[in-house]
Structure 1
């Protein structure tokens, strides 16, 4: 395993993983809902073996930043969007501080971390690449779909305008001269693939972005990271860093 240590960066607890070679740059890796930064050390080490410095920030209400009953539907409804929004809003200071060390290649996120990574990508011009695993880039549509599925009223835990302001699907104008890789299981019952399909329709309507977003669906895959997803991520990153 590559060397790693914990460090406060922009007042956010982070794990810093260095590769055993000359770094190609920094990748910011966002963890999921029931995880914390220590749970992602192995995942981060895999990515660092590809030649990147990996920074894993702790998202709000996780790890040393607090705890929730992550499997309680009421807790999820109350805190989910707050966690995503706060993560995106505090990313600016994190990015500014990290650029003092090295160039930032991009962001990676899984599940809730996929929402966060998409938001950070869409709301920060300096972030040129993103890999979104099992998340959503169309927040308004996701909220509508998930509430319809669960028989709930949308927008009860977060002001809709706050979501729309940061929703990646509303900010495609910020995605020119950038690249995004979306990986998602077709049988995902936690974060259904439908909102990502909606996002791709938004992208397809913009001729300037058609070639900048790659969407890979994995049949018979639920809410998980597969070996094929990792292989595709490495291939995609290698193409980006070699250009």
Structure 2
């Protein structure tokens, strides 16, 4: 896995030994408090199937203004959605800088990265596909559930309005395929946001979207998930 920095963007890249016919580029976004390099094993496994894989460093992580105590409650409440929104906003410049065409990109995200990938996918209609693992495609609903869990006040109007600007369920569903994956015992990112986005896609009569729910699985990526993910990528 090679680390690169170009025009302010730092990312890791894994080139396949033999590029498959799809020419798809897989961009993986990691979860809150994680690291781009922490997805090396997954990236290399995907690259073995002939895909070029890129893992960007995300703002407030790795070398980009890392937070001293990312799991402190106030820090999460302050920076979680800000990180997601900033990364969504950066995407067009990121792929332009790397010389990647949007339609060749399949986005994969885990946890917070799933929110990022879903937000990009909703905004950038030409992107070639989405895999949201243990994330959410329903931002306002997820924030409401976070606040209820933490015994905080209801969402202020200004926060709600800003979330709605990025919320995937507030935008028309794009044409590219979608895979949603979630453990039904997830205590970190409630499955409700994923289920709500799936319900939205069904209402939009989107035919090439699939939801996979894993029984007894908390907030992690299992071997079954990896196998289902790679099988889906090979069919896209």
Same fold (TM over 0.5): yes
Q: Which consecutive aligned stretches of 4+ in structure 1 deviate over 3 angstroms post-superposition?
A: 98-103
The equivalences for 1:98-117 within 5 A come to 98-100=98-100, 104-117=104-117
Match of 1:231 in 2: 227
**Deviations 1:20-72 (CA, angstroms, capped at 9, x unpaired):** 11253211110111211111222211111121111100111000002221221
Is 2:55 aligned against 1:56?
A: yes
Over the residues paired in the alignment, what is the CA RMSD in angstroms?
1.9
Instruction: Give the Cα separation in 2 of the matches to 1:139 and 1:149.
Output: 15
Match of 2:41 in 1: 42
Match of 2:210 in 1: 214
Q: Residues 28 and 106 of structure 1 are in contact (CA less than 8 Å); yes or no, is this contact kept in structure 2?
A: yes
Deviation, structure 1 residue 85: 0.3
Instruction: Give the Cα separation in 2 of the matches to 1:48 and 1:74.
Output: 38
Match of 1:13 in 2: 10
Q: Which runs of 5+ in 2 are unaligned?
A: none
TM-score by length of structure 2 reads 0.92
Match of 2:118 in 1: 118
Is 2:227 aligned against 1:194?
A: no
Q: Residues 26 and 102 of structure 1 are in contact (CA less than 8 Å); yes or no, is this contact kept in structure 2?
A: no
Instruction: Give the Cα separation in 2 of the matches to 1:73 and 1:160.
Output: 20
Count of aligned pairs between the two proteins? 233
Structure 1 residue matching 2:220: 3-state secondary structure: coil
Instruction: Give the Cα separation in 2 of the matches to 1:223 and 1:163.
Output: 23
Deviation, structure 1 residue 154: 4.2
Deviation, structure 1 residue 199: 1.6
Instruction: Give the Cα separation in 2 of the matches to 1:135 and 1:77.
Output: 16
Instruction: Give the Cα separation in 1 of the matches to 2:108 and 2:14.
Output: 14
Match of 1:90 in 2: 90
Structure 1 residue matching 2:63: 3-state secondary structure: helix
Q: Which runs of 5+ in 1 are unaligned?
A: none
Instruction: Give the Cα separation in 2 of the matches to 1:22 and 1:205.
Output: 36
Match of 1:162 in 2: 162
Q: Residues 142 and 195 of structure 1 are in contact (CA less than 8 Å); yes or no, is this contact kept in structure 2?
A: yes
Check 1:65–1:155 CA distance in 2 against 1; reply closer, same or farther (3 A cut).
Answer: farther
Match of 2:127 in 1: 127
TM-score by length of structure 1 reads 0.90
Q: Residues 186 and 219 of structure 1 are in contact (CA less than 8 Å); yes or no, is this contact kept in structure 2?
A: yes
